[in-house]
Amino acid sequence: MTKSFFVSILTLCLSAIPLAIASNSANAAPQGAGSSFKYVELNKIGDPADVLEVKDGVAPSLADGEIRIAVLAAPIHPSNLLQIAGNYGTAAVLPSTPGSEGVGRVLELSPAVTHLSVGQLVLLPGLGTWTEQLVVSAAGVIPLPDLGKPDAAVIEQLSMTAINPLTALLMLTSYVDLKEGDWIVQSASNSAVGGYLIQLAKQRGIKTVNVVRREGLAEDLMAKGADVVLVDSPDLAKQIATATNNAPVVLAIDAVAGETFSRLAESLSTGGTLVAYGAMSGKAPVLNTGTVIFNDIRVRGFWLSKWFQTASMAEKQGAFGQVIPLIASGDLAADIDSRYSVAEIKQAVTRAGQRGRNGKVLIVPNAY
């Protein structure tokens, strides 16, 4: 999916959400044309820590219809690292600045732009956000409602609005008609998507079995609303049956692949659905065809880019209309492991690629 397609879809689908113009121009930093800024550039495919470069840029003047933005926060997603390494479903554009989402504050407007104001917070979908400053078309950003003076925690959460919360919501609601009291199971439960899914399920009265690959994560997941937390093992299906008192498990969501994929399939009740959206183990999924045949298991795949291409406008408006208010109000949040400046990109991507993190790694180019 191209950047322009992603931007146009998001801009259109959020047109149904009521927006207010912020008027806090006093917060805008003096970063106009001619000022210097740092940005990350990708010129070749490879290990992110080896191939990403930090460069100095000079802010250009605004063309008609453009705006200048100070990037406040931008996450590093596994998909970013995979694409930089050449292991993703779509190839990276070279040269380019990575970063698939973020949040920023408007610094300057060209005269033709009248629907935004200096100081306003905006979402930055697909705009190459690992940079201190952006000059983009005003049509490419998503204005946020007037949130007053949000604290740093809210700003950081808003930077992660467009990908993981939406992924969790859609997997929870698109494949099975879940009812209050139903049981589901997911792997990679301590991931950002996993945390969002726990919170969304809890709000709907849906019970979750949450599978992780190491000890020491149960307390945090239970605080988010998890009902059961289990460490992956060969007898996982048996553990799930015991934990749920043999209740039917109607939906399984997997981001690990390998043997975990098969174990989740074996935990499903007859007619259950298994949704795959990742392969964190780096291994191909293993699946017992007997389980699929005799238990009538349905296997589905989820890719957010494909959803943007196929969902109706009403579906897109409905999905974003649910997640943005929840994030802005603090009712939907992700853990944050660490924060790095643009100049520290090599340390940032190294940390983002490590196992054992407790949350998302953020690039924080400017003070909030």
Q: Give the β-pairing of 207-212 and 228-231.
A: parallel
Query: What is the phi/psi pair of residue 300, to 5°?
Result: -130, 160
The two structure tokens encoding residue 247:
């209740």
Query: What is the phi/psi pair of residue 354, to 5°?
Result: -90, 145
Nearest 5°: the CA angle 365, 366, 368 is 130
The two structure tokens encoding residue 218:
């149960």
Q: Where are the beta strands (DSSP E) in 64-171?
A: 66-76, 103-109, 121-123, 133-137, 142-143
| CA–CA distances in Å: residue 52 to residues 80, 94, 99, 234, 347 | 12, 12, 12, 39, 11
8 Å CB contact between 297 and 289: no
Is residue 88 part of the annotated active site? The answer reads yes
DSSP letter at 131?
B
Query: What residues are paired with 300 via a beta bridge?
Result: 275
Name the active-site residue from 88, 175, 277, 368. Answer: 88
Q: How far apart are CA 83 and CA 80, in angstroms?
A: 5
The end-to-end CA distance of the chain, in Å, is 31
Q: Which residues are catalytic?
A: 88
